[in-house]
Amino acid sequence: MADPRRSTTERSSQRLGRFGEQQAVRYLEEQGYRVLERNWRCRHGEIDVVASRDGVLVFVEVKTRTSAAFGHPFEAITVAKLRRMHVLARLWCAARPQARGVVRLDVIGILAPRGEVPRIEHLEGVHA
């Protein structure tokens, strides 16, 4: 029998992740980006957001936390995750030969304490 606490925690985490992605998309659009795709999946993983601006294709990983008690959201981005993002970006581009532009990997970290306005930080051009 499944542990009901685990499924509640997973649902809560998924809700927080969706909330963070919504905040990130809103932020990107306010900054002049055009969102091309959200939650693109393939057998190798998932890209949270694909956007473009000024001829640059931007692949964005979004990390959301309710506090920094277990570290800043950026601390969850490992070298392995960045390498996977590179692979996923290449696969996304290969699946869309009409998509052209310079490719860049970004990370958006969101601290969203309950009852407070979320704080959004955007790192552009992150490399492994």
Q: What is the pLDDT of residues 3-59, one digit of tens each?
A: 454 556 557 888 888 999 999 999 999 999 999 999 999 999 999 999 999 999 999
Is position 128 within any domain?
no
Q: What is the dihedral of CA 10, 15, 21, 27, to 10 degrees?
A: -140
Give the domain range for residue 37: 4-123
Q: Which two tokens stand for residue 113?
A: 């304490």
Do the domain assignments include residue 37?
A: yes
Residue 92 scores a pLDDT above 80: yes
Is the pLDDT confidence value at 95 over 90?
yes
Residue 11 pLDDT: 75
Q: Is pLDDT larger for residue 87 or for residue 99? A: 87
Question: What pLDDT, on the 0 to 100 scale, is given for residue 123?
Answer: 97
Looking at residue 8, its pLDDT comes to: 61
Does residue 85 lie within any of the structural domains? yes
Query: Is residue 13 assigned to a domain?
Result: yes
* 49 domain residue, yes or no: yes
Which amino acid is located at 28 in the chain? L
More confident site: 80 or 70: 80
Provide the CATH number for the domain around residue 15: 3.40.1350.10
CA distance 54 to 7: 42
Would the pTM of this model clear 0.85, i.e. be above it?
Answer: yes
Which residue's structure tokens are 């925690």?
9
DSSP character string of 5-43 = HHHHHHHHHHHHHHHHHHHHHHHHHHTT-EEEEEEEEET
> What pLDDT score was predicted for residue 96?
92
Q: Is residue 45 part of a domain?
A: yes
Sheet holding 56-65, edge to edge: 34-42, 45-53, 56-65, 102-111, 119-123
* pLDDT value for 81: 94
Distance CA 81, CA 61 (A): 9
